[in-house]
Amino acid sequence: MSTTASLPPLVRAALLGVLSGSRSATPLAVLAVNQGADEARGSWQHWRAFRSPVGRAVFVAAGLGELVGDKLPATPSRMAPGPLVGRVVSGAVAGVAMGGTGRGGRPVAGAVAGALGALVGSWAFAGARKSLVEKTGLPDVVVALAEDAVAVGGSFAVVRSS
State pLDDT tens for residues 17-65. Answer: 999 999 999 999 999 999 999 888 888 999 999 999 999 999 999 999 9
Report the pLDDT value the prediction gives residue 103, as an integer from 0 to 100.
67
- Average pLDDT across the chain, whole number: 93
Rounded distance, CA 6 to CA 98, Å?
Answer: 12
Residue 4, in any domain of the structure: no
CB 115 within 8 A of CB 88: yes
Residue 64, in any domain of the structure: yes
Residue 107, in any domain of the structure: yes
Rounded distance, CA 20 to CA 22, Å?
Answer: 5
| For the chain, percent of residues with pLDDT exceeding 70 | 94
Q: How many domains does the chain have?
A: 1
Residue 15, in any domain of the structure: yes
CB 45 within 8 A of CB 85: no
Whole-model pTM: value is: 0.92
CB 114 within 8 A of CB 21: no
Is the pLDDT assigned to residue 92 strictly greater than 60? yes
Give me the domain span that covers residue 56. Answer: 9-159
Rounded distance, CA 122 to CA 17, Å?
Answer: 9
